[in-house]
Amino acid sequence: MLATILKRLLGAVPNLIGVVIVTFLLTRALPGDPAAFFAGPAGTAEAVEQIRVKLGLDKPLFEQFFLYVRDLAHGDWGNSLATGQPVLTELTTRLPASLELTLVGLVVAVVVAIPLGILAATRPGSWIDHLCRAVATAGVSLPTFFTGLLLAYVFYFLLGWAPSPLGRLDPYLTSPPHVTGFYLIDSLLARDLEVFVSAAKQLLLPALTLALFVLAPLARMTRAAMLGVLSADYIRTARAAGLSGSTVLFTYAFRNALLPVMTTLGMVFSFLLGSNVLVEKVFAWPGIGSFAIEALVASDYAPVQGFVLTMALLYVFLNLAIDIAYGIVDPRMRLHA
Residues 49 and 185 in one domain: no
Determine the pLDDT at residue 196.
Answer: 92
**Of 4 and 198, more confident:** 198
- pLDDT above 90 covers a percentage of the chain that reads 1
- pLDDT above 70 covers a percentage of the chain that reads 92
Distance CA 126, CA 132 (A): 10
Q: What's the whole-number mean pLDDT along residues 161-184?
A: 85
Residues 44 and 106 in one domain: no
Kindly calculate the radius of gyration of the chain based on its CA atoms and give it in whole angstroms. Answer: 24
Q: What's the whole-number mean pLDDT along residues 58-87?
A: 82
Q: What average pLDDT does the chain have?
A: 81
pLDDT digits (tens, 9 = 90+) for 90-129: 888 888 988 898 889 888 888 888 888 888 888 887 888 7
Determine the pLDDT at residue 259.
Answer: 79
pLDDT band at 330 (very low <50, low <70, confident <90, very high): low
Residues 72 and 97 in one domain: no
According to the 3-state scheme, what is the secondary structure of the chain? CHHHHHHHHHHHHHHHHHHHHHHHHHHHHCCCCHHHHHHCCCCCHHHHHHHHHHHCCCCCHHHHHHHHHHHHHCCCCCECCCCCCEHHHHHHHHHHHHHHHHHHHHHHHHHHHHHHHHHHHHCCCCHHHHHHHHHHHHHHHCCHHHHHHHHHHHHHHHCCCCCCCCCCCCCCCCCCCCCCCCHHHHHHHCCCHHHHHHHHHHHHHHHHHHHHHHHHHHHHHHHHHHHHHHCCHHHHHHHHCCCCHHHHHHHHHHHHHHHHHHHHHHHHHHHHHHHHHHHHHHCCCCCHHHHHHHHHHCCCHHHHHHHHHHHHHHHHHHHHHHHHHHHHHCHHHHHHC
- In-domain check, residue 319: no
Q: Which CATH number do you get for residue 269? A: 1.10.3720.10
Determine the pLDDT at residue 1.
Answer: 59
Looking at the 3D structure of the chain, how many domains does it have? 2
Residues 107 and 72 in one domain: no
Determine the pLDDT at residue 335.
Answer: 47
pLDDT digits (tens, 9 = 90+) for 123-166: 887 888 788 788 777 777 777 778 888 888 888 888 888 888 88
- In-domain check, residue 136: yes
Residues 48 and 168 in one domain: no
Q: Which of 50, 76, 102 is the last residue of a domain?
A: 76
Residues 180 and 57 in one domain: no
pLDDT digits (tens, 9 = 90+) for 272-285: 777 778 888 888 88
Residues 54 and 196 in one domain: no
Domain span including residue 167: 93-299
Residues 142 and 38 in one domain: no
Distance CA 101, CA 273 (A): 9
**Against a cut of 0.85, is the pTM above it?**
no
- In-domain check, residue 160: yes
